[in-house]
Structure 1
Amino acid sequence: MIKHLGFILCLLSFSFLKDKQGFVQQTSCKGYYDTESHLFVYTEVDEMPEFPGGMTKFYKFISNVPLKGTDKEPLQSDVFPTFIIDTSGHVKSIGIYQKLPKDYTQLDRNMIKLLKACPNWEPAQCNHKKVAMSYRTRVTL
């Protein structure tokens, strides 16, 4: 019995051994390779990206989107911007969720223009390493 317990403890101790990089960690980070930006982009990370000053400041920043539209466009109150925050914190590949550029309203185009002027974020992290992350949000005006 003691031999079996010693064997089990020995096996468990091997699972905690360090490799050259540090402790082997399990991660819940998931992503995909984005052919447009030529980056591996994460959709699930250990630490979310952070706008300077926090999300309250981000929503205050994007609330400055001009509401001008054209008379021919239907009234729009929600915008669903999508973008990638790269490993340097830059906002890239900005678009509107489930819309093609030809279908963008003036409000959508104004949101994209505003996000292009967005300050750098603190990038997302996976295993304590900065990674690019896909980000989508809803803005109700």
Structure 2
Amino acid sequence: MKLKHLIICLLACLPLIAPAQLDTVIYMKLNKQPTSKEKAFYCITLLKKSNKKFVVTRFQKHYNANWSQTGYSKIKVLSDSVLKVKKYQQNKLQLKFKRNFSIVNDSIYYFKEIDKQDRLWREGYTKSKFPLHLVREMKTYYESGQLESIQKYKNNRCIASESWHEDGTRRFKNQYADLDSLPEFPGGQEALFKFIGENIRYPHEAKTKRIRGKVFLQFIITDKGKVSNVKVIKSAHPLLDKEAQRVVSLMPDWKPGKFMGEYVNMRYQVPINFRLSAFW
């Protein structure tokens, strides 16, 4: 099975600050399967605050082996079948909802996540109440009630997905699938930014007019490792956009990403920052 157009975003590298006295630490590969700390790409920690209060925190490892916190959830156990969940990102509350469970069989629960306005946010199947261990499928919804995505899961790994914009038009298929490996620039992430720095040429007109900014580019790394379909997704200025596109188009072949053991086409995003010194 070959998947197309998966979206990969670069994240800022921040240090990992792990809480003390953890009750559970789960290390996972990129494809969400269990692994050792040394080989992990993701980490989930569970901290017990009391008999009914817990904190689940998620981390991600970056190319330089640093970890960053991607978010955390505060969980309060209201009953055997109901949890109260508050989800945070960058220490800001993003969502509040109740997670209701019903038993499907000896090993699987069906769950629904509903906010204070009685709006359904997610529903699906899991082997554990927290952190979730997803199986079968999960559906997510917009605040309007419009279906946002349907994701198929096998042993906590998303193996296929469909998603829609709020107006009902389709997004890229398999946007949320869990990969075996990401595309890799020759020499890794550090070599990628070194290549950009060595090959960028600040447009003379942009210099004289003191034009600066950050250009965000999106492109496809094909299953053969070729860079294609380079486009600007966030512009800084036409002069800077054109130069950023030129540099990305010069890149050598990458090591393509893999999904389910096969090389696949993947979408990739990279920022290029144009900055002027104080002497210009």
**TM-score range, shorter-chain basis?**
0.5 to 0.7
Matches of 1:74 and 1:119, distance apart in 2? 31
Counterpart in the other structure of 1:65:
200
Q: Distance in 2 between matches of 1:127 and 1:110?
A: 36
Correspondence for 2:265: 132
TM-score (norm: length of structure 1): 0.63
RMSD of aligned residue pairs (Cα, Å): 2.9
Percent of aligned pairs with the same amino acid: 24
- Map residues 19-58 of structure 1 onto 2, 5 A cutoff: 26=154, 27-28=157-158, 43-44=175-176, 45-46=178-179, 47-58=181-192
Shift of 1:98: 3.9
CA distance in 2, matches of 1:91, 1:119: 8
Change in Cα spacing, 1:74 to 1:111, as seen in structure 2 (3 Å) is: same
Cα 1:112–1:90 change in 2 (3 A) is: same
- Report whether the alignment pairs 1:123 with 2:256: yes
- Is the contact made by 2:219 and 2:229 (CA closer than 8 Å) also made in structure 1? yes
Distance, in Å, in 1 between the alignment partners of 2:173 and 2:222 is: 8
The letter of the residue matching 2:205 is T
1:114 Cα deviation from its structure 2 partner: 1.4
Aligned residues: 108
**1:111 matched to 2:244:** yes
Q: Alpha carbons of 1:54 and 1:105: their partners in 2 closer, same or farther (altered >3 Å)?
A: same
Note if contact 2:213-2:237 (Cα within 8 Å) is conserved in structure 1.
no
Give ranges in structure 2 of 5+ residues lacking alignment: 1-105, 107-152, 163-171, 275-280
Which is strand-richer, 1 or 2?
2
Question: Does the 8 A contact of 1:43 with 1:134 survive in 2?
Answer: no
Give the superposition deviation at 1:28. 2.5
Query: Which stretches in structure 1 are left out of the alignment for 5+ residues?
Result: 1-7, 9-24, 33-39
Q: Distance in 2 between matches of 1:85 and 1:31?
A: 20
Q: Higher helix proportion, which one?
A: 1
TM-score by length of 2: 0.34
Change in Cα spacing, 1:30 to 1:119, as seen in structure 2 (3 Å) is farther
**Cα separation, 1, equivalents of 2:264 and 2:201:** 31
Which amino acid is 1:28 matched to?
A: C
Residue 230 of structure 2 is aligned to residue 94 of structure 1: yes
Contact 2:215 2:234 in 1 (8 A): no
Specify whether residues 110 and 53 from structure 1 end up closer, same or farther in structure 2 by C-alpha distance, changes over 3 A only.
same
Alignment CA distance shift 1:119-1:61 (3 Å): same
The alpha-carbon deviation at position 41 of structure 1 amounts to 7.5
Deviations 1:72-108, CA, capped at 9 Å, x for gaps: 9662231111100000000000011145xxx952221
- Runs (4+) of structure 1 exceeding 3 A deviation are 29-32, 40-45, 71-74
